[in-house]
Structures are given as C-alpha cells and as structure tokens.
Amino acid sequence: MEICGHPMVWWVYQNVKKVKEFEEIYIATDEQVVKEICETFGAKVIMTSNHCSCLIDRLYEVSCLIDADYYVSINGDEPILEPEVMPKVLPDFMDNDKPIVRGLAREFTNPAEVLDPGNMKMAIGKGGYCLYRSRSPIPYPQTTTDFTYKKYVGVELFNKKALEFYVNTVPTELEKIEDIGALRFLEYGIPIHYDIVQSKSLSVDTPKDLAYIREIIEKSIIGGEKNESC
C-alpha cells in the first residue's frame, strides 16, 4: 500500500534504521514483488518459503541463515511505530540455555480498538509476564471498568532456542482457536515477558486503518517531523 509517495514497508524500514541497537536489518518475505520493491530502497531481503504459518516460522528460517544473539521481529504493517520504542524489547541479559520470548504492549486509547479482533489484547501479570493473549477483550469487566486494556505492539524478540522450540512442536488448541502463534509458548509453559510502552502505533489491517495512517503521516510531513525521510 502506498503512503505519501512510498510503500508502507518503506516507512517501517526508515524507522527501524534509526535504532542503533540493531546490528543488522533484513526484510523477510516470500513474495517476489515485495523483494523487488524493498531492493529499490536498498534494503537487504531474505526470501523465505511460502509454508510459514506465522512470523515465528518465518523468523526461524531467517535464523537458519543469520547467526544472532537475539532475533527481533518488527511488523511490516506498523509504519508509525516509533524508533525509540523498538529497543525496549531488548533484555539486559544474555541467555541461550532456555527459550526467551519477549514483546511490547501498550494501553488502548481508543475504545473502538478494543472490539477489533485485529488488535490482539493481553492480560499481563506481576513482573510483566503474559497470562493470555486474545482477539477478544480481556479481562472481562465483571466488577469494575477502572482499568485499561493492553494491546500487542508489533515488536517481538526470540532467541534461537525459542524459535527451534516453536518449529519442533505441533500447533496447540488455543493457538489454533485464536490464530495467535505466540499462544503455543504459553500453552507449553514458556513465559513471555511484555514491557508496557508509550506508543501511538497501529497495525494497518483494514482500509480504514490505512486512511487513518495516511492522515497521520501527511500531518507529520506538513509539520516537518519527517522532512528528512520525505
């Protein structure tokens, strides 16, 4: 999708390039047209198979080609995801002895977003560990509405052991019901840690989302915030 003269993935790539903590950046895709578009603006592209059921499968294929301490996935449909937010997913430790899975979340600011199944909600317990992720609003406001729903932000981190674990296990019941790959880790008892961040990021899942994102980026261009990128 075109946004202000550039494909959506271009905007994501420009933001990721600003993150100094990332040593290497690749765009992973199974679509030749995506590869060709990304190469026009100088991105390194890794072609994966077309059998990947979700981003975790795709990232595993990348890990078979690229050796890294951690693998951070940035969703290609979040063109206003702030560069300063992305590195918050990085832990302050190295651990390759067990699967490590981490992610980012933010609070919902628009009540309508809570009802959208495209926006994954989550319940986060003490210490930042995920209790459950769902396309339904969770938790249910049985006794109070004095809380804020938490939303998945398209930044996730895995070590190689986590990726190997995922591809060597069968899909689990809740994972298949919700169509959320990360639930496989939770169903097998592997913790997922989420840091709550301040972000206005929105994944582009519908024409309405696209129109909204175009309006935001157009305003930022007029305001001079992205003049260098444009």
Question: From CA 103, how far away is CA 93, in angstroms rounded?
Answer: 15
Residue 112 confidence class, pLDDT cut points 50, 70, 90 = confident
| 195 part of a folded domain | yes
User: Does 230 score more than 50 pLDDT?
Assistant: no
Q: What are the DSSP E strand ranges found in the chain?
A: 2-3, 6-7, 27-29, 45-47, 71-74, 101-107, 121-124, 130-134, 150-158, 193-196
Q: Helix 8-16 crosses helix 32-40 at what angle (to 10 degrees)?
A: 60
Counted domains in the chain: 1
In this prediction, residues 51-64 reach a mean pLDDT of 92
Token code pair at residue 34: 């995506």
| 54 part of a folded domain | yes
Q: In 10 A of CB 31, how many CB atoms?
A: 12
| 229 part of a folded domain | no
Q: In 10 A of CB 1, how many CB atoms?
A: 13
In this prediction, residues 113-139 reach a mean pLDDT of 94
| 79 part of a folded domain | yes
Question: From CA 194, how far away is CA 153, in angstroms rounded?
Answer: 10
Residue 53 sits in a domain of what CATH number? 3.90.550.10
Residue 226 confidence class, pLDDT cut points 50, 70, 90 = very low
User: What one-character-per-residue DSSP string does 122-170 give?
Assistant: EEE-GGGBEEEEESS--S--SS---S--EEEEEEEEE-HHHHHHHHTSP
| 186 part of a folded domain | yes
| 152 part of a folded domain | yes
Do 115 and 43 meet the contact criterion of CB atoms below 8 Å apart?
no
Residue 109 pLDDT: 87
Range of the domain at 213: 2-222
pTM over 0.75: yes
In this prediction, residues 105-119 reach a mean pLDDT of 89
Mean pLDDT rounded to a whole number for the chain? 92
* Rounded (to 5) percent helix, strand, coil in the chain: 30, 20, 50
| 165 part of a folded domain | yes
Model confidence pLDDT, tens digit, residues 23-42: 999 999 999 999 999 999 99
| 113 part of a folded domain | yes
Residue of higher predicted confidence among 54 and 37: 37
